[in-house]
């Protein structure tokens, strides 16, 4: 093959490949809907939010590298940008998978509480974030993160600063956030326990949401009657590993959810759980 012919073939190949990308992209493009995937990462949390405006947000990263595989199924191979990572709290089952995510993806910003914790997986994640020079934003009070028209992520908790502070029960330092799109909302609770639920109720925060990510993997340390009644979820999502050592989810909590009329989904039984919102209503996707 002559050098000239080779060059022509190479250039036309590149042009064809570039043309193909938008066509290929159609299979991934959302119809201006908000998509939320509760990823099956075993015993831990990892939630992918795809906003109607193209942002990717990851809340927690699960206990190991499984999140990389799960994210690979949800994002097209050319989309390596994660606009925001939210680490609810630094326990292993929320932070460990995020280290690999930071290595492989172009992460634009990280939101976390700065609570003191010296476990190796948390420290390794922080070091990796600093190495990659990812902006680290500390959250020390409720705040609103605007994603676009009629779409925002509201941080409801912490209501006070945990920056540089030790706390006896790290679960109760969890970032609790409500994701809004139009008239629809998702409440994400990390591993927040009843003490946090009480604080939110005492502060008269509007908790009502169609989807509730059940706190602390369905443990009975969370999901008090009062809290569930205030949220009144149509769908309850439990991120939990098969045959886990903790007895999660707790039977009493499952019964409580049934009593309030919530439809329950569990990652150990259902795998990754996907919802879509058009701003008017939320639909469970199959």
Q: Is 191 in the site for Zn ion (CB under 5 A)?
A: yes
DSSP code at position 49:
E
Count CB-CB contacts under 10 A for residue 32.
12
Nearest to Zn ion of 83, 124 (CB atom): 124
Q: Site for Zn ion (CB under 5 A): how many residues?
A: 2
Q: 189-211 burial, b if ≥16 CB within 10 A, otherwise e?
A: bbbbbbebbebbeeeebebebbb
Q: How many helices (H) and strands (E) does the chain have?
A: 8, 17
Candidate ranges 32-40, 73-81, 186-194, 240-248; the one touching Zn ion (CB under 5 A):
186-194
Nearest to Zn ion of 52, 97 (CB atom): 97
Nearest to Zn ion of 64, 93 (CB atom): 93
At closest approach, how far in Å is the CB of 191 from Zn ion?
A: 4
At closest approach, how far in Å is the CB of 14 from Zn ion?
A: 46
Nearest to Zn ion of 55, 224 (CB atom): 224
Of the candidates 178, 170, 172, which has an alpha carbon nearest to the alpha carbon of residue 206? Answer: 178
Candidate ranges 13-21, 31-39, 58-66, 185-193; the one touching Zn ion (CB under 5 A):
185-193
**CA 279/CA 151 separation, integer angstroms:** 9
Nearest to Zn ion of 114, 215 (CB atom): 215
Q: Is 154 in the site for Zn ion (CB under 5 A)?
A: no
Of the candidates 258, 199, 266, 203, which has an alpha carbon nearest to the alpha carbon of residue 228? Answer: 258
Candidate ranges 56-64, 154-162, 184-192, 249-257; the one touching Zn ion (CB under 5 A):
184-192
At closest approach, how far in Å is the CB of 217 from Zn ion?
A: 6
Q: Which of residues 54-93 bind Zn ion (CB under 5 A)?
A: 93
Give residue 16's region: left, alpha or beta (phi > 0; psi -120 to 50): alpha
On whether the CB atoms of residues 75 and 101 are closer than 8 A, the answer is no
At closest approach, how far in Å is the CB of 93 from Zn ion?
A: 4
Q: Give the position of tokens 């996907």.
A: 274
Q: Which of residues 90-109 bind Zn ion (CB under 5 A)?
A: 93
Candidate ranges 55-63, 117-125, 142-150, 183-191; the one touching Zn ion (CB under 5 A):
183-191
Nearest to Zn ion of 191, 193 (CB atom): 191
Q: In what order do the strands lie in the sheet with 184-188?
A: 143-148, 151-157, 176-181, 184-188, 211-213, 235-238, 263-266
Nearest to Zn ion of 191, 197 (CB atom): 191
**CA 57/CA 46 separation, integer angstroms:** 10
At closest approach, how far in Å is the CB of 164 from Zn ion?
A: 22
User: Which positions lie near Zn ion, rule CB under 5 A?
Assistant: 93, 191
């Amino acid at each position: 093959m002559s050098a000239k012919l080779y060059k022509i073939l190479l250039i036309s190949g590149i042009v064809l490949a570039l043309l193909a990308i938008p066509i290929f992209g159609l299979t991934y493009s959302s119809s201006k809907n908000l998509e939320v995937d509760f990823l099956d990462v075993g015993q831990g949390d990892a939630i992918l939010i795809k906003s109607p405006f193209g942002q990717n947000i990851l809340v927690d990263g699960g206990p190991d590298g499984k999140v990389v595989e799960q994210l690979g199924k949800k994002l097209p191979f050319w989309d390596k940008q994660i606009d925001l990572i939210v680490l609810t709290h630094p326990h292993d089952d929320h932070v460990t998978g995020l280290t690999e995510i930071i290595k492989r993806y172009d992460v634009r910003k990280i939101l976390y509480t700065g609570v003191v914790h010296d476990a190796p997986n948390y420290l390794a994640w922080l070091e990796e974030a600093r190495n990659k020079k990812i902006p680290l934003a500390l959250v020390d009070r409720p705040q609103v993160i605007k994603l676009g028209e009629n779409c925002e992520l509201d941080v409801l908790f912490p209501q006070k600063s945990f920056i540089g502070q030790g706390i006896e029960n790290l679960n109760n330092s969890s970032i609790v956030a409500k994701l809004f799109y139009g008239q629809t909302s998702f409440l994400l609770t990390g591993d927040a326990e009843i003490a946090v639920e009480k604080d939110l109720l005492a502060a008269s925060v509007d908790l009502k949401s169609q989807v509730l990510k059940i706190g602390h993997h369905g443990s009975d340390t969370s999901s008090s009657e009062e809290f569930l009644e205030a949220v009144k979820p149509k769908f309850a999502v439990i991120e939990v590993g098969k045959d886990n050592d903790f007895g999660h989810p707790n039977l009493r909590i499952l019964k409580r959810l049934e009593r309030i009329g919530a439809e329950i989904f569990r990652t150990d039984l259902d795998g990754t759980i996907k919802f879509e919102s058009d701003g008017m209503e939320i639909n469970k996707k199959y």
